Amino acid sequence: MSREPKIRYAPKSADGERRWCNKCGRMMLVPDEIKPLGRRCFACQAETKDEYWKSYYAENRQKQLDYQAAYREAHREEINAYQREYAARHREEAREKARQWYYANRERHKARTAAYRQANPERQAEWVRRWYANKLRTKAGRLSYLEDSRMRSRLNAERNGRELTPVPLDEYRERYGGDNHHVQVPLAPLLPYVKAAYEELGSVELARLAGTSDKRVMEMIRGDRDEISLPVADALCTHFELPFSWLYQDVA
């Protein structure tokens, strides 16, 4: 008596038919949910794959990290070169994306920042204290901070239509500290502008417009001094509409 062969797999299903999933036990539609010869539906396959990779990473995490660290160490120059090339190639694109994100989320960001500051005043005060302490720790940092403050003041004055006037010496000392009048900066960067204005206006008019004294202007012209105080340099930069940090880049 002949015996029929045992069929291990279900025969191929046609499109539109239902096929049994051996894992979840549901009838799935061919070919949207299961292959014509498949034993597991697509959802079960994805779930099995996720479980496998999760367990694989947990078991081999340290091995993967060690391999990645060794590869980066062996190919450091190539990786750095590619990162620099990629950053240069996508710099404008990254800036544009950041700009779009900021303008799209500006109000939400301001609201979240204001809420955090209101909820954490101690942390905000500590952050401000540390920022100022780090910024004013060195002489170069103090000069940079003063220049940023002056530039912000000038921009606000231009927006509001106010006249740009230098800060008086007494107010400057009161605002930025009594020891700042001892800070001396080189005269050489400003000397060409001072001489040109002296030839055009004279010492008296130049001193009046710049907010300094006629005696100090003549000392600059005659070469009696090689340095000037920081408030005087600020007044001259304000009069000539020059950025302080551009003229005194090497001030330490």
Query: Which structural domain range is residue 19 located in?
Result: 10-89
Q: What DSSP state is assigned to residue 120? A: -
HSE value, Cβ hemisphere, 13 Å, CA-based, for 203: 10
Would you say the pTM of this structure is higher than 0.95?
Answer: no
210 in a structural domain: yes
Place of tokens 């905000």: 124
For residue range 231-248, what is the model confidence (pLDDT) as tens digits? 788 788 878 877 776 777
252 in a structural domain: no
3 in a structural domain: no
> Is the same domain home to 144 and 243?
yes
The CATH code of the domain that includes 228 is 1.10.260
> Is the same domain home to 145 and 225?
yes
More confident residue, 65 or 247: 65
> Which of these three, 89, 108, 124, is where a domain ends?
89
More confident residue, 6 or 244: 244
130 in a structural domain: no
57 in a structural domain: yes
C-alpha span between 138 and 129 (Å, rounded): 15
How many domains does one find in the chain? 2
Specify the pLDDT at position 250: 58
Average pLDDT over residues 125-151: 78
Q: Burial of 46 by CB count in 10 Å (0-12 exposed, 13-18 middle, 19+ buried)? A: exposed
> Is the same domain home to 147 and 242?
yes
54 in a structural domain: yes
Specify the pLDDT at position 136: 76
pLDDT band per the 50, 70, 90 thresholds, residue 1: very low
34 in a structural domain: yes
